[in-house]
């Protein structure tokens, strides 16, 4: 069997094969018989904010909070067990990758262009590494997931990849959840002492600031809001021509860019929202000391703005509060842990995933559409919330390497802390993912555990795979919670807007008697 080229021996491309962060992309394909016999190919792009901005998780250059969230993802298991070649790229994320004035002064979306360039490089060069440029699978987790989704909907990515796996994020996630571009620009200009008469002058000032200052000040700005402030992608009329859900619902556009031909697996973990509680409990976290009630209020108000055109709404606040807290809504009573975890998970991950997947499945398509929910109870989760937290599944795919003072070390989120059950879950997970990358069909590894196939997500049958050591097929994932955000809240917004647009009734004539 042939051997994948060592990154240390590929002059000029070593950084292209270094993994650190959260977007993953996998390039896969049957090997060229003249190059590397027997290997398959996967392309992984990472994206933790700190790691990506600095390139390497070097203790001498990455300090403080940024280093504490830095992770290296070593894809040994994917390569050895999955018979694939893994390629990793780095791209700009956070402020350096997505800060924008909302116009051509600073267009933003630089991280997406970085990824796109890397995909083009792979298409032109991957045969030299044993890969097939005609069978490429792009996959990512968290920021890597929503940027993978944005590559799917962008006209600039047409033909660059053929399958995609989105772990905990959809293209709608960043567009909806991020602070409006110009608002974020003004705020960060202020905290970096770069307020100016014009945006152009502010940009010139920001360019004099060090990367360390920009990242540190961005982290402080995000943490001060309980992480409801954030920097992300924007609809720029170019790389992202329109809202991703709107683009995906446009049959002509979908056909023009070949979106319907892409095989897609998308999903999330069953306790994504637990990340917000962990952040407040760990010593050294910027959110240390935030109460559950404080975080619940911040997230609720931010979520309402997402669905109400950036505006606050007392009515929507009350409706959503009642949905999650029942009779305690509006009171100063403590917030139930499940309410906080579910609210954050619903508004950050779950609703946006289903919101985008529905039109994707409704359009004519040749590619497959699969939805999953990871429900494995990881051994290392010993805090208040059991289940699969945000990012937990990464330990199933990668050998994760953390700096000594990483917050993740305190969480025991490393392969060395995985139980025998976690290792079994890893074997199944890697087999499903790599089989999908190689064939477009994830079902062979599931025949024993599931006793059948994982049904596709369709408009008529919104099926999903409950992924654990005893997987099961479910229908209508989180049905009531999805109905709240994707039906009831939009209906209330629509009715309220119509009422506000109606002319006020004329004053009735005064009674002459």
The pLDDT value recorded for residue 332 is 80
The larger pLDDT score, comparing residue 473 to residue 306, is at 473
Q: What is the 3-state secondary structure (H, E, C) of 198-213?
A: CHHHHHHHHCCCCHHH
pLDDT score of 241 more than 80: yes
Residue 201: left if φ>0, alpha if ψ -120 to 50, beta else—which one? Answer: alpha
What range does the domain containing 28 cover?
15-178+236-498
pLDDT recorded at residue 100? 97
- Span 67-83, pLDDT tens digits: 334 456 667 777 777 77
Considering 40-44, 49-53, 490-494, the range whose residues carry the highest mean pLDDT is 490-494
Query: Please, which pLDDT band fits residue 512 given cuts at 50, 70 and 90?
Result: very low
**SS3 letters across 256-324:** HHCHHHCEEEEEEECECCHHHHHHHHCCCCCCCCCCHHHHHHHHHHHHHHHHCCCCCCHHHHHHHHHHH
User: Which residue has tokens 């290392």?
Assistant: 380
Examine residue 193 and state whether it is found in any structural domain, yes or no.
Answer: no
Strand arrangement, sheet containing 163-167: 86-89, 42-45, 137-141, 163-167, 263-269, 369-374, 463-467, 472-475
pLDDT over threshold 60, residue 48 = no
Query: Tell me, what CATH number does 51's domain have?
Result: 3.40.50.1820
Number of folded domains that form the chain: 1
Q: Residue 416 above 60 pLDDT? A: no
Residue 407 binned pLDDT confidence (cut-offs 50, 70, 90): low
What pTM was computed for the model? 0.84
In what helix (H) or strand (E) does residue 500 lie, and over which residues does it extend?
A: helix 489-501
Give the pLDDT confidence score for residue 79 in this predicted structure: 75
Quote the CA–CA distance of 161 and 119 in Å, as a whole number. Answer: 8
Would you state the structure tokens that stand for residue 267, as one six-digit string? 């999903």
Is 107 within a domain?
yes
Distance between CA 414 and CA 143 in Å, rounded? 20
Nearest of 422, 421, 395 to residue 408 by alpha carbon: 395
What pLDDT sits at residue 347? 95
Per-residue confidence (pLDDT) for residue 10, from 0 to 100: 30
Residues with a catalytic annotation lie at: 142, 272
CA-to-CA distance for 101 and 247, rounded, in angstroms?
23
Question: pLDDT band for position 507 (50/70/90)?
Answer: low
Residue 214, both tokens = 């920009």
Across residues 319-336, what is the average pLDDT?
92
Domain-located, residue 505 = no
29 versus 148: the higher-pLDDT residue is 148
Q: Is the pLDDT of residue 45 over 80?
A: no
pLDDT tens profile 19-36: 233 333 333 333 233 323
Task: Report the range of poorest mean pLDDT among 47-56, 130-139, 366-375.
Answer: 47-56
The pLDDT of 410-432, averaged and rounded, is 78
Could you give the CA distance from residue 35 to residue 128 in angstroms, rounded to a whole number?
7
Res. 154 pLDDT band, cuts 50 70 90: very high
Q: Tell me the angle at which helices 292-307 and 314-325 cross, rounded to the nearest 10 degrees.
A: 130
Question: How far is Cα 426 from Cα 441, in angstroms, rounded to an integer?
Answer: 18
Return the C-alpha torsion angle 508, 509, 511, 512, nearest 10. 170
Average pLDDT, the chain: 81
Q: Residue 397 has what pLDDT?
A: 86
Q: Read off the pLDDT of each residue in 263-277 and give the average, rounded to a whole number.
A: 94
With both helix axes pointing from N to C terminus, report the angle between 181-191 and 211-224 in degrees, rounded to the nearest 10: 110
* Residue 333 reports pLDDT greater than 90: no
pLDDT band at residue 213 under the 50/70/90 scheme: very high
The answer to whether 303 and 339 are in contact (CB under 8 A) is no
Percent pLDDT > 70 in the chain is 77
Taking 50 as the threshold, does the pLDDT of residue 153 lie above it? yes
**Per the domain annotation, does 207 fall within a domain?**
no
> Higher pLDDT residue, 42 or 284?
284
Q: Is residue 280 part of a domain?
A: yes
Q: Spell 109-146 as b/e; 16+ CB within 10 A means b.
A: bbbbbbbbebbeebbeebbebbbbbebbbbbbbbbbbb
| Sign of the torsion angle spanned by Cα atoms 390, 391, 397, 402 | negative
**pLDDT(406) > 80:** no
């Amino acid at each position: 069997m042939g051997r994948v080229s060592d990154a240390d021996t590929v002059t000029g491309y070593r950084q292209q094969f270094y993994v650190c962060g959260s977007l993953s992309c996998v390039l896969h394909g049957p090997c060229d018989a003249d190059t590397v016999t027997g290997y398959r190919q996967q392309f992984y792009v990472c994206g933790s904010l700190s790691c990506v901005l600095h390139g390497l998780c070097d203790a001498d250059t990455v300090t403080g909070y940024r280093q504490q969230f830095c992770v290296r993802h070593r894809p040994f298991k994917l390569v050895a067990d999955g018979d694939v070649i893994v390629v990793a790229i780095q791209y700009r994320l956070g402020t350096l990758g997505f800060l924008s004035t909302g116009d051509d002064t600073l267009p933003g979306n630089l991280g997406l262009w970085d990824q796109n360039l890397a995909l083009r490089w792979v298409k032109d060069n991957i045969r030299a590494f044993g890969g097939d440029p005609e069978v490429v699978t792009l996959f990512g987790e968290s920021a890597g997931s929503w940027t993978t989704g944005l590559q799917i909907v962008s006209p600039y990515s047409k033909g660059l990849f053929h399958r995609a796996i989105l772990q905990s994020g959809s293209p709608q996630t960043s567009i909806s959840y991020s602070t409006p571009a110009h608002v974020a620009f003004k705020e960060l200009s202020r905290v970096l002492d770069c307020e100016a008469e014009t945006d152009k002058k502010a940009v010139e000032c920001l360019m004099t600031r060090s990367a360390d200052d920009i990242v540190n000040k961005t982290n402080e700005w995000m943490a001060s809001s309980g992480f409801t402030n954030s920097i992300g992608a924007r609809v720029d009329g170019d790389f992202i021509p329109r809202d991703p859900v709107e683009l995906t619902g446009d049959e002509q556009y979908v056909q023009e860019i070949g979106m319907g031909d892409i095989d897609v697996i998308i999903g999330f973990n069953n306790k994504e929202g637990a990340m917000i509680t962990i952040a407040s409990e760990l010593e050294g976290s910027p959110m240390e000391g935030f109460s559950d009630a404080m975080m619940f209020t911040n997230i609720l108000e931010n979520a309402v703005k997402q669905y109400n055109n950036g505006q606050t709404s007392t009515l929507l606040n009350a409706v959503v509060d009642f949905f999650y807290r029942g009779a305690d809504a509006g009171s100063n009573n403590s917030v139930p842990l499940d309410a906080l975890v579910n609210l954050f998970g619903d508004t950050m991950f779950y609703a946006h995933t289903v919101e985008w997947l529905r039109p994707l499945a409704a359009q004519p398509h040749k590619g497959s559409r699969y939805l999953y929910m990871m429900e494995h109870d990881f051994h290392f989760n010993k805090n208040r919330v059991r289940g699969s937290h945000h990012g937990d599944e990464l330990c199933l795919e990668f050998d994760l390497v953390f700096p000594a003072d990483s917050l993740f070390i305190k969480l025991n989120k490393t392969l060395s802390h995985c139980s025998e059950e976690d290792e079994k879950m890893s074997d199944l997970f890697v087999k499903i993912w790599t089989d999908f990358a190689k064939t477009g069909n994830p079902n062979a590894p599931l025949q024993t555990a599931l006793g059948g196939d994982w049904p596709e997500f369709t408009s008529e049958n919104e099926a999903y795979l409950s992924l654990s050591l005893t997987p099961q097929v479910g229908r209508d994932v989180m049905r009531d919670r999805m109905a709240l955000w994707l039906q009831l809240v939009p209906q209330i917004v629509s009715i309220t807007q119509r009422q506000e647009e109606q002319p006020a009734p004329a004053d009735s004539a005064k009674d002459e008697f």
